[in-house]
Structure 1
C-alpha cells in the first residue's frame, strides 16, 4: 500500500431541520392548540482514530465530505430525525488544521478518539414552543441552523518508538531491513527512500519496539531544500532519535549538521534522547574507525550488512526506551 501523510478535504456538516407549524385537529377537539414538532439536528463531520490504519491514502481521494441534514418536525410534537454523522477514520498521530487560517483543531493519538471538525446545525423549534396566554395559535416556527463548512488539512505524524535520522545513503533503510525484516527500497543513490517506512524490531523475551525510517535529510532542509521539511514532522512523535552516520564520512561534522537541521526546524526536538550509530563499519580495516570522535551521546559502531554489533545496538536502544518510559511514569506520579 502506498503511504500518504497529507490530505486536504472540504467538509460540510448537515443543516438542522425546520420546526413544524401545526395545530391539533381531532373530531372532538375543535380548537386544539399548536403541536408542531422540532426539527432534527444536522449530522456532524467527525475524525476518529483507528489503530489499524497507518496512512491517509483513502482520504486523498475524498475531496468533498458531507453529513446529512436533520429532518423537519412533524405534527403531534414529533421531532424530526437527526442527520447521520459522517465519520472519517484516520491513523493515530493525525493532526487536523483549518486550511485557511492554519488553526490547529486537534490531534488524534488514541484508538477511537474523536474530534468534531464540522458541527451540524441545530434543528428549529416547532410552533408549540411559542404558545402563550396572549398568543394561543402561533403560526411560526424556527428554521434549522446551517451546518458548519470548512476546508481542513490533515497531516500524519508517524507514531514510532525510534526515528532514524541521517543524510541520504547513511544506511537507514538497510538497518531497518536487517533489524525488522521490512523491505524498504535500497540503493546507492540519494533519496532512495521517498516515504517513511515502519518496522517492528523483536528482541529476546518478547520485547519489541517500532522503528521509523525517515527519508534522508540534507543541509538546509528546514528551508525547503531537497525533500524539504515535509518529513521532519514524523520525528516529532518518536521517543528516541537514532542518528546514523557512515564511517566513510566525517562523523562529527555530519552529526552536528543533522543536529543543526533539527534545531532549525524545532528546537525542542533536541530534548529527545539520542543515540549515534556509525554505519558501514565493514568498510573499515578490522572494523576499527580511522578517526577520533568527541560526541556526548552513546555511540555504537555497526554494520548492517554483516551483522556487526547489531544485537548491541538493539539492547542500547531498548535501554534508552526504558529510561524514557521510567521518566514518563515518574512525571505522571508527580502530577497526581
Structure 2
C-alpha cells in the first residue's frame, strides 16, 4: 500500500437523527364519537454506528468524510401507529480502530472483530403518543411528547494495526528487509533513514501450514515519545502486538545501549508495553566473523531471548521464526 493511501487518523463530525414527535390523535369514527386517545409513538432518530470489516486495512475511505448525518425519526400517527425510525449511518472501519473524544482524549470504544457494531452517536428517542398519558382522571389527554433532539459531536477515529509481532528498531535496523524475506510483503527498502513511512503488514508462513502476522513499524528514534522523528504517530501501532521483536544491527556502537533506548521510548509512551513478550534480533550478522560474534554475545542483554540473523544471507531466519512462534503461543 502506498504511503499516501495509508490513513490511520480521521476526525469527523457526527450528527445523529432527531426523534419523531408522539401523536396527540383522538379516535373519531362514525359510530365511535369519543373513542379516546390513540396517538402512536414517534420513531427514534438514526444512530451513527461503526462496524468492523476485516477487508479494510486503512481509514482512507473516511479521509474526506467530514460530516456524517443520520435520518430523523418519523412522527407517530393514529391507531397507535409508531413512526419509522430514522435511517442509521454505518461507518465500516478496519479491525483495530478506536474512537476517541477529541476534547478529553478519552477512548469511547474499540472495534476488534469482523462484524462487531458499536453506536458512536445515538439518535434521539421518539416522543410518546397521548395514549401513554391516559389515566382515570384524564381520559382524553390532548398532548404528546416531542421527540428528543439528535446530537452533534466530533469524534476521532484512530487505527492501531493488529498483528502478532511488532518490529521495533531504529531506522536502517533491517526491519523492512527482514519482513520482505519472511513474507510476501514488499516494503520500500533503501539505505537511508525513514524509508518506511507507514506500517507494513506481512503474513508469515510457518511449519505445517500455520502462519502469523508481523508489522513493520516505522523507525523509532530517541525522544520519539516527545514527538521527534515520526514520533507518536506510529508508536500506538505497537500497543496491539502480542510480541515485540527488537532489532539492533550488528554494527551498532553499543547493542545494549540501543536496546535500552528503544525500551525506554516504549516505556515513556506506554508503560504497559513493558509487560509484553520481548525478543531481540541482532541483524546484519553476515558481516561478522566468529571472533566478532563471540564479542557481541558478551554484550547482549540478559533475560531476553536473542537471535543472530542476516536477512540477506538467510542466516538464523528459521530459528528466529521458531522463537517467535514459541513466544506467541506460550501461556
Query: Does residue 293 in structure 1 map to residue 299 in structure 2?
Result: yes
Deviation at 1:192, TM superposition (A): 0.5
- Structure 1 SS opposite 2:232: coil
Instruction: Provide the residue aligned with 1:321 in structure 2.
Output: 328
Q: Which residue, 309, 313, 318 being the options, matches 1:306?
A: 313
In structure 1, the gaps of 5 or more residues are 328-336
CA contact (8 A) 1:281 1:287 kept: no
Q: How does 1:161-180 map to 2 (within 5 A)?
A: 161-180=164-183
Structure 1 stretch 97-106 or stretch 172-181: which is displaced more? 97-106
- Structure 1 SS opposite 2:202: strand
Q: Which residue, 71, 79, 83 being the options, matches 1:80?
A: 83
In structure 2, the gaps of 5 or more residues are none
- Structure 2 SS opposite 1:115: strand
Instruction: Provide the residue aligned with 1:12 in structure 2.
Output: 15
- Structure 2 SS opposite 1:88: strand
Deviation at 1:204, TM superposition (A): 2.1
- Structure 2 SS opposite 1:319: helix
Query: Does residue 265 in structure 1 map to residue 269 in structure 2?
Result: yes
Instruction: Provide the residue aligned with 1:227 in structure 2.
Output: 230
Deviation at 1:113, TM superposition (A): 1.8
Q: 2:279 & 2:27 partners in 1: Cα distance?
A: 77
Deviation at 1:294, TM superposition (A): 3.4
- Structure 2 SS opposite 1:216: coil
Q: 1:258 & 1:134 partners in 2: Cα distance?
A: 75
Deviation at 1:130, TM superposition (A): 2.3
Instruction: Provide the residue aligned with 1:277 in structure 2.
Output: 281
> How many residues matched?
324
- Structure 2 SS opposite 1:231: helix
Question: TM-score, with normalisation over the residues of structure 1?
Answer: 0.92
Structure 1 stretch 27-36 or stretch 257-266: which is displaced more? 27-36
CA contact (8 A) 1:281 1:288 kept: no
State the Cα RMSD in Å. 1.5
Question: TM-score, with normalisation over the residues of structure 2?
Answer: 0.94
CA contact (8 A) 1:98 1:151 kept: yes
Q: How does 1:1-336 map to 2 (within 5 A)?
A: 1=1, 2-249=5-252, 250-285=254-289, 288-289=292-293, 291=296, 292-296=298-302, 297-323=304-330, 327=331
